[in-house]
Amino acid sequence: MGFKIVKKRELIPNRVSELTIYAPDIASKARPGNFVILRIFPKGERIPLTIADKSPAEGTITIVYLVVGKTTAHLETFQVGDEILDVCGPLGKPTRIEKKGEVVCVGGGTGIAAMHHIAKGHAQVGNKVISVIGARSKDLLLFEEELSKFSHKVLVATDDGSKGKKGLVTQVLEDYLKSHEVKEVVAVGPVPMMKAVSELTKKYSVPTTVSLNSIMVDGIGMCGACRVSVGGRIRFACVEGPEFDAHEVDFDELMLRLRSYVKQEQISYNHFCE
Ligand code: FAD
Ligand code: FES
């Protein structure tokens, strides 16, 4: 028996969807920062997706995915009542959350959904959470309403200026860092965004945590696919992360490794579309 989809919400039609999945054992143990690995059919690849939210009372977890290739396109064909073959988790180390004061959580793209669970965890222990979210335009912004339920403020940046400040999340973040005593910055999103946030916060000496999206296969430390360099040491993001000290991460190496199978991914996606 698989894992039943009990709710589906199209956040951006044909691009980003949210699925609520009945998985009571995972829901009861999931903590901010954890992820799951899905396999949607017997010969399917395994893909990691962050647990964006959970409801232990209803026995559900929520995932949000961007359609980028074959498996996410296939997942997008699933509807309420369909079952996902395997959902393995919760995986990864949970976020280290302690009461410390003001925490700025930065999210870009579907990273905003992943950041949501972490930001909520910080708010629940009494930290003052400022959420900074960015997208190309206002139609592509995710989770603004959800974040506003527990954030002290939600600051928005869009590339085209259709909402909030025109520009990048780093510009909004820099304005904020100049005039506030921030104890920690958390950033989740595309690697270039996390790299830019890290370079900025280094300048302001603010401790920063990023959640790395390296390629993963087993998710339990056996295959080595998720290797990342942090502080000059090889670390396995699935079991030692996915969160690391941003100022120690080799982002350029991560970007190169993420592009290792682009040709095969394109062939596989074209084959799926035929
Ligand atoms: P493909 O065409 O196979 O790949 C497109 C790109 O996705 C690749 O170039 C590569 O950069 C990346 N990718 C491919 N396979 C994997 C894999 N097995 N593991 C990791 N990355 C891969 N995406 C979301 O939209 N929402 C999330 O909440 C989310 N959380 C993640 C949490 C973690 C811990 C990690 C490691 C990744 C997360 N991702 C998330 C990325 C997601 O796993 C990939 O987008 C997905 O695997 C793409 O599969 P595909 O077959 O659709 O695309
Ligand atoms: Fe295999 Fe991390 S995904 S070791």
3-state SS track over 21-70: EECHHHHHHCCCCCEEEEECCCCCCCEEEECCEEECCCCEEEEEEECCCH
- pLDDT tops 80 at residue 75: yes
Asked if pLDDT for residue 54 goes beyond 90, the answer is yes
User: In this predicted model, what pLDDT tens digit does every residue of 181-236 receive, in sequence order?
Assistant: 999 999 999 999 999 999 999 999 999 999 999 999 999 999 999 999 999 999 99
| For the CA of 256, the nearest ligand | 1
Residue nearest to atom 14 of ligand 1 (CA): 215
Residue whose pair of structure tokens reads 């998710």 in the numeric block = 219
Residues with CB under 6 A from ligand 2: 216-219, 221-226, 236, 238
Shortest-distance Cα residue to atom 11 of ligand 1: 258
| Phi, then psi, of 202 in degrees rounded to 5 | -60, -45
**Residue nearest to ligand 1 atom 13, measured at CA:** 215
Q: Percent of the chain, pLDDT > 70?
A: 100
Q: pLDDT at position 272, please?
A: 84
CA distance 255 to 48: 17
Decide if 265 contacts 215 (C-beta within 8 A).
no
Which pLDDT belongs to residue 261?
Answer: 84
Q: What is the atom index within ligand 1 of the atom nearest the CA of 216? A: 19
Q: Check pLDDT > 80 for residue 1.
A: no
pLDDT-derived band at 271, boundaries 50, 70, 90: confident
pLDDT of the residue at 5? 97
The residue to mutate among 21, 67, 72, 112, having the most atoms of ligand 1 within 8 angstroms of its beta carbon, is 72
Ligand 2 pocket test, pick from 36, 213, 236 with the greatest ligand atom count within 8 Å of Cβ, gives 236
pLDDT at 163 over 80: yes
Which regions of the chain does DSSP assign to beta strands (E)?
A: 3-12, 16-22, 35-39, 47-50, 53-55, 60-66, 83-84, 86-91, 102-108, 128-135, 153-158, 165-166, 184-188, 208-211, 227-230, 233-236, 243-245
Distance 128 CA to ligand 1 centre (A): 31
Mean of the pLDDT values across residues 66-82? 94
Residue 269 binned pLDDT confidence (cut-offs 50, 70, 90): confident
Summarize the confidence of residues 53-68 as an average pLDDT. Answer: 94
Q: Which atom of ligand 2 is nearest to the CA of 216?
A: 3
Q: Which protein residues touch ligand 1 with a CB less than 6 Å away?
A: 35, 47-50, 64-66, 68-72, 110, 113-114, 213-216, 242, 258, 262, 265, 269
- Ligand 1 atom closest to residue 238's alpha carbon, by position in its atom list: 34
Ligand 1 centroid from CA 215, angstroms: 7
Where do you find CATH 3.40.50.80 in the chain? 102-258
Architecture of domain 102-258: 3-Layer(aba) Sandwich (3.40)
Q: 127: which residues sit within 8 A by CB, 6+ positions away?
A: 97, 99, 100, 101, 102, 103, 183
What is the pLDDT at residue 260? 86
Read off the pLDDT of residues 127-159 as tens digits, 9 standing for 90 and up.
999 999 999 898 888 899 999 999 999 999 999
Alpha carbons within 13 angstroms on the beta-carbon side of residue 168 total 12
For the segment 81-134, what is each residue's pLDDT rounded down to a tens digit? 999 999 999 999 999 899 999 999 999 988 898 899 899 999 999 999 999 999
Task: Examine the pLDDT at 72 and tell me if it is beyond 90.
Answer: yes
Paired tokens of 32 = 């901010």
Ligand number nearest CA of 143 is 1
pLDDT for 109 equals: 85
3-91 is a CATH 3.40.50.10860 domain: no
If you average pLDDT over every residue of the chain, what do you get?
Answer: 94
Residue 273, pLDDT > 90, answer no
| Confidence (pLDDT) at 255 | 95
Q: Which residue spans of the chain are classified as CATH 2.40.30.10?
A: 3-91
